[in-house]
Amino acid sequence: MLIGVIADDLTGATDAALMLQREGMRVVQLVGEPSVDSALPEADAIVVALKSRTAPAGEAIAQSLGSLRALRAAGAEQILFKYCSTFDSTDTGNIGPVADALMTELGVRSAVFCPAFPANGRSVYQGHLFLGDTLLSDSSMRDHPLTPMRDANLVRVLGRQTQTPVQLIPYAVIDQGAEAIAAAIAEHEAAGRRMLVCDAVSEKHLRDLGRALKGASLLTGGSGIAMGLPANFGFTPERSAARTMSAPSGAALVVAGSCSAATRRQVASAIAAGLPAYRIDPLSSAPLAEQAATALGWLASQDAAVPAVIYATADSEAVAQAKNALGSERAGALVEDALAAVAAGAVKAGIARLLVAGGETSGAVVGALGIKSLEIGPEIAPGVPWTRSIGAPSLALALKSGNFGADDIFVRAWDLLT
């Protein structure tokens, strides 16, 4: 193994795995922290999917360090700490605390931070994160139910999470290419500025960053930064990658828990296209566990030839009402548990093709299904691949970040399965 990735959520892990595979590497994704004594699969890169983004900082650090030690023991030469391309966290973590711990463990003098992913509209300019042409702080991420982002200045955001000096490597340097970037990193290291936020507005910038980071033990970022890493080990982009994936036969289901603007549009588009849909409502008088059971009964009555949608997706006003009624953390946990129960019941009843929307929802679903590792399949949308479970249950599984994908992704994703 050459590259080890520690991802702070499940959809982000599949995103990074897809990027490395596209660049020619053999990739396996693991779910949960591996043991340092366990035999990891043979691969050029292994991606570890944690559920640490919103965990208490101490838990996130412990899981990340455990994963680091297992990956290093298996031979990983370079470690990528992967977080969301929207850098979403809180003022106290977990990006800064986990990065601090990884840097200390590896004894590195610096680490770059770059969540840019231009293919999905994420760019960093003068240290500010943009979603399309909108500052992060003015986007729908401002009202994210778990990790609201109300400051687009990444130097400032990261600086609130750590005592380690944070510095920007700006566009004017990044645009000069890999040699200029490497020189800037060395200069900041010599001055004791160890956390380096990097501008990037194009794939060229990300590939140049990759070249500049050849030999670096640790880097951090969104999945975009991974595109420049395999070339340092002699890999070239996989031009002959399969465009479809052989999938287990069986019915198809979408389970949507994300309340992002993108997922709300995707649910609406699926309903408009005629896909049967059932909503789970945390504000209903019926307990969520009862609603999950009712949803499974409804699913059993649907035409198995048509993908169905079971969702808890709602607008920001409904999310706020649920948080007020049930408590912020409890509301999210109850919905995740209900959707995980739906997914587990559906698979038991014969669903073999499953698309899950939302990072927290994906983590809950995969946990309920007991899936431990995944093979990476074809790309549905930037950052969203089909995967195939290794071992039981046998599933085609797509784990979609709430913010990713075109409006019709729930309708057309199935075209890539044979």
274: left (phi over 0), alpha (psi -120 to 50) or beta: left
Please give the pLDDT value at position 320: 79
Strand ranges across the sheet with 128-131: 122-125, 128-131, 134-135
């959707």: which residue's tokens? 339
- Give 62-104 pLDDT, tens digit per residue: 999 999 999 999 999 999 999 999 998 877 889 999 999 999 9
**Residue 240 falls inside a structural domain:** no
Identity of residue 210 = G
Judge whether residue 390 has pLDDT over 50. yes
**Residue 239 falls inside a structural domain:** no
Q: Band of the pLDDT at 148, cuts 50, 70, 90?
A: confident
Q: In whole angstroms, give the CA distance from residue 227 to residue 118.
A: 12
**265 and 191 co-located in one domain:** no
**137 and 63 co-located in one domain:** yes
Please give the pLDDT value at position 144: 78
**Residue 275 falls inside a structural domain:** yes
Judge whether residue 219 has pLDDT over 60. yes
**182 and 40 co-located in one domain:** yes
Full residue range of the structural domain in which residue 368 is found: 251-416
**226 and 362 co-located in one domain:** no
**64 and 211 co-located in one domain:** yes
**Residue 246 falls inside a structural domain:** no
| Stretch among 153-157, 389-393, 395-399 having the lowest mean pLDDT | 389-393
> For position 87, which CATH number holds?
3.40.50.10840
Q: Band of the pLDDT at 352, cuts 50, 70, 90?
A: very high
**226 and 281 co-located in one domain:** no
Residue 62: exposure state from Cβ atoms within 10 A (0-12, 13-18, ≥19): middle
**204 and 267 co-located in one domain:** no
- Give 251-282 pLDDT, tens digit per residue: 999 999 999 999 999 999 999 999 999 999 99
Judge whether residue 185 has pLDDT over 80. yes
**271 and 201 co-located in one domain:** no
The better pLDDT of the pair 88, 298 is held by 298
**Residue 358 falls inside a structural domain:** yes
Closest CA to 112 of 227, 231, 233, 225: 225
Q: Band of the pLDDT at 239, cuts 50, 70, 90?
A: low
**46 and 165 co-located in one domain:** yes
Please give the pLDDT value at position 333: 86
Please give the pLDDT value at position 328: 65
**195 and 298 co-located in one domain:** no
Please give the pLDDT value at position 113: 98
**Residue 97 falls inside a structural domain:** yes
**Residue 244 falls inside a structural domain:** no
**19 and 159 co-located in one domain:** yes
Q: Band of the pLDDT at 242, cuts 50, 70, 90?
A: low
- Give 49-67 pLDDT, tens digit per residue: 998 998 899 999 999 999 9
Mean pLDDT calculated for residue range 21-48: 92
> For position 384, which CATH number holds?
3.40.980.20
**Residue 243 falls inside a structural domain:** no
Q: How many domains does the chain have?
A: 2
**33 and 97 co-located in one domain:** yes
Please give the pLDDT value at position 287: 93
pTM for the full model? Answer: 0.86
Please give the pLDDT value at position 240: 46
